Amino acid sequence: MNVARTVDARGLSCPQPVILVRKAIEAGEFPIEVLVETVTSLENVRRTAEKADLRVEVEEREDDFRILIEKP
Amino acid sequence: MSERRPSFFASRWGIIAAGAGIGLIAACLQRAGNPPNMGICVACFERDTAGALGLHRATPAQYIRPEIIGFVLGAFGAALAFREYRARSGSAPIVRFVLGMFAMIGALAFLGCPWRALLRLAGGDLNALLGIAGLAAGIAAGVFFLKAGYSLGRSSRTYPAAGLILPILSMGLLLLRIFMPRFGDGAPIFASASGPGSLHAPLLLSLAAGLAIGFVAQRTRFCTMGAVRDIILMRDTHLASGAAALLAAAFVANLALGQVHFGFAGQPIAHSDSLWIVLGMALAGLAFALAGGCPGRQLFLAGEGDGDAAIFVVGMIAGAATAHNFALAGIPDKVAGGAVQAGGLTGAGQAAVVIGLVFSLAIGFTMREKG
């Protein structure tokens, strides 16, 4: 699937991944692909997207998580 | 597909349970011997540990606190058990070290970390309200910088063994606490004979409490700085509900145990020097916000392999040594014969807080990503 926007938040500490994802959501182009490394960042990004009533899919890869945020 | 489904720990009730558990345990540790209105204080306990190692010679503040050891090892265990151990480092370590130092200097001006600010309030110490206000102001400044693009840069993965260093050092500290060796004449592990350092719960109880809190806090991401930050940054009350639960549970437990005494003057291990309570905690709040976590959270992150958080912890230990070697720490009120002899902050301590604020603001202004 083509993603409209990628947010690479790998290695960034809290709360920067969430700040970047909120900016991407506000820009309004979906789907957004988010890359994070820690489960904490995964949870925070998931919570942020779900609060904005967006759909979240998570793929756990070898070294990171790929989160896809889409309009429901 | 992912097996990482949202867990109970990640839920609202999870963080509330963690906060309430910490508040309850803190009140009980106080009952079991820990210092009054200081059932758990991450800053004070790191300071006591620094003193036990002779890094400072403030004789009332020397004891290897098993709670701190437990926080690191409990978080380490949780991270291993849930496959979250991940060695990483390299995000501006020297900046984090200095932020840790100044965070400690600010916290010791007030006489407590954010956890103790809540616990002091739960014991009736109303000075803590000012401390919390200062903390919130410092965190608000941190949020301003975060919104303007402040970042210490990315960490990168490193060797799994590199993330083990703080957990291993913690195990070493535990051995020193158990055996209390003398390495030579005048070279002991120090232990206070009087003062707050002499007040402690039994070793096994303190260690078990620390391990339990470390485990649960790693799972729930409990953070008192994040509690305030997320409200200001995005009106999110997830972490705040944990901090509120800590306050409520500790207050109820203190009421039940007869440990609540409302007032400003003569509170245990506290002073009422309002301006420096506010500014000290503002410094601590700003430094925690710039470093991404309260002192407890930094210990839990270090336990799960975050070498940058470990550097912050080491910075706090160095800050504690600096604060006590150069008389920068707050001086508690003394109560003698019913009269209160007011404490406060020395001129040197005031200067250190101002220098810390200037330094931290400079870090916020100069370390931004463009765009």
Q: b vs e for B66-93, b when ≥16 Cβ sit within 10 Å of the residue's Cβ?
A: bbbbbbbbbbbbbbeebebbbbbbebbb
**What's the whole-number mean pLDDT along residues B89-104?**
98
Contact yes or no for B50/B108 (Cβ under 8 A): no
Give the pLDDT band of residue B369 (cuts 50, 70, 90): confident
CA pseudo-torsion sign B37, B225, B317, B111: negative
**What's the whole-number mean pLDDT along residues B157-165?**
97
Amino acid at B361: L
CB contact under 8 A, B3 and A60: yes
Chain A residues touching residue B221 (CB < 8 angstroms): 40, 43
Please give the C-alpha separations between residue B307 and each of B85, B160, B258, in angstroms, as whole numbers: 12, 11, 41
By C-alpha distance, which of B300, B63, B331 is closest to B196?
Answer: B63
Amino acid at B144: F
Q: How many pairs of residues across A and B have Cβ atoms under 8 Å apart?
A: 60
ipTM above 0.95, yes or no: no
Give the pLDDT band of residue B4 (cuts 50, 70, 90): low
Give the pLDDT band of residue A1 (cuts 50, 70, 90): low
Question: What is the per-residue pLDDT for B3?
Answer: 55
Give the pLDDT band of residue B7 (cuts 50, 70, 90): confident
List beta partners, residue A66: A35, A59
Summary mean pLDDT of chain B: 96
Predicted confidence (pLDDT) at residue B155 exceeds the cutoff of 50: yes
By C-alpha distance, which of B43, B33, B46 is closest to B118?
Answer: B43
Nearest to A40 among B151, B152, B221 (CB): B221
Chain A residues touching residue B229 (CB < 8 angstroms): 15
Chain A residues touching residue B82 (CB < 8 angstroms): 39
The lowest-confidence range among A2-6, B236-240, B299-303, B314-318 is: A2-6
**What's the whole-number mean pLDDT along residues B205-215?**
98
Predicted confidence (pLDDT) at residue B264 exceeds the cutoff of 60: yes
CA atoms within 13 A on the CB side of B257: 22
Q: Could you tell me where the DSSP H helices lie in chain B?
A: 12-31, 42-52, 66-81, 93-110, 114-122, 127-147, 165-179, 203-220, 224-234, 238-257, 274-291, 295-303, 307-325, 347-366
Question: What pLDDT digit, counting tens, does each position of B17-72 carry?
Answer: 999 999 999 999 999 999 999 999 999 999 999 999 999 999 999 999 999 999 99
**What's the whole-number mean pLDDT along residues B307-323?**
98
Question: What pLDDT digit, counting tens, does each position of B224-244 carry?
Answer: 999 999 999 999 999 999 999
For A13, name the nearest residue in chain B, comparing CA atoms only: B292
DSSP structural state of residue B199: -
Chain A residues touching residue B308 (CB < 8 angstroms): 13
**What's the whole-number mean pLDDT along residues B124-149?**
98
| Region at B233 (left for phi over 0; alpha for psi -120 to 50; beta for the rest) | alpha
Give the pLDDT band of residue B371 (cuts 50, 70, 90): low
Amino acid at B356: G
Say what the pTM is: 0.96
Question: What is the per-residue pLDDT for B1?
Answer: 41
Measured between alpha carbons, how far apart are the two ends of chain A, in Å? 16
